Amino acid sequence: METLDNIKLDIPLDIGRDFLEKVMGAALNAPMERLLEEKASKCIDSIAPKAIFDRFEIEKVDGDLVYFTSADLFNGPHISKILTGSKTAILYIYTLGNNVDRIINEESLAGDTLATIIMDAITTSLLELLGDFVGEKIKKQGIEEQNWSSTCTYSPGQYKWTIEEQKILFKMVDGKRIGVELNQSYLMVPFKSVSGVYGFGPEDRIDKTRVACDLCPRENCIGRR
């Protein structure tokens, strides 16, 4: 099991703009430009990016079931599809930390809806940056042989993999070690956290799904990749 602490992200000056313009469906007006600039430093100062991940050997995939040599089991048509042909999987959890949730809640309680939307867009974009950073680290470790490659990543709660499977992922990778826990609805606390799986194996055997969105019916989703 490996943990990454004090992660330094390469943050663009206009972090959050692309996501906001997607949400708004238009270019930002002057007041929003000012708020984006003002809130960006507040959000960036509040993050404490951390990650934890671990490697597991896949015993077999049978129908919707993925059996690990650790005696753990995933159940879902899409996670089994993505891990079919993989020899190993790396399970991960990453987070921006508690402070982000706190400052967004404070803004929301203060009744500033626009500022809350902007801070949510900035921190969602920061979480995506952290995901790319952690993904690169994981792929470097997961590709154990020359002819190996990695699958796309998939997370509990995504289409046709129930959120309840979070409890299995958190049993296999201890999120508490980076301050992440599950609430009664299997949602992660802090809220700005992500968990998931990458599969690894011979390039000609592993699943070729490009990205989770390709398996998802939500055509008009603003997060669609």
- Can you give the binding site for ligand SF4, defined by CB under 6 A? 158, 212-213, 216, 218, 221, 223-224
How many degrees, rounded to 5, is the angle at CA 214 between CA 209 and CA 215? 90
State which residue, 4 or 213, has the beta carbon closest to ligand SF4.
213
Q: Nearest Cα to 178, choosing from 3, 1, 9?
A: 3
Closest distance of CB 33 from ligand SF4, Å: 26
* Nearest-approach distance from CB 188 to ligand SF4, in angstroms: 15
Q: How far apart are CA 125 and CA 11, in angstroms?
A: 10
Least Cβ distance, residue 51 to ligand SF4 (angstroms)? 20
Nearer to ligand SF4, 27 or 221 (CB): 221
Q: How far is the CB of 179 from ligand SF4 (least distance, A)?
A: 24
| DSSP string computed for the chain | -EEE-S------TTTTHHHHHHHHTS---HHHHHHHHHHHHHHHHH---EEEEEEEEEEEEETTEEEETTS-EEE-HHHHHHHTT-SEEEEEEEE--HHHHHHHHHHHHTT-HHHHHHHHHHHHHHHHHHHHHHHHHHHHHH--STTEEE---B-TTSTTS-GGGHHHHHHHS-GGGGT-EE-TTS-EESSSEEEEEEEEEETTTS-----GGGG---TT-TT--
Give the residue with the Cβ less far from ligand SF4, 1 or 211: 211
102 or 218: whose CB is closer to ligand SF4?
218
Minimum Å gap between C-beta 181 and ligand SF4 is 23
Tokens of 67: 């059996």
| Closer to ligand SF4 by Cβ: residue 115 or 121 | 121
Nearer to ligand SF4, 95 or 158 (CB): 158
Provide, rounded to whole angstroms, the least separation between the CB of residue 214 and ligand SF4: 8
Nearer to ligand SF4, 24 or 216 (CB): 216
* Beta carbons of 72 and 15 less than 8 angstroms apart: no
In whole angstroms, how close is the CB of 83 to ligand SF4 at the nearest point? 17
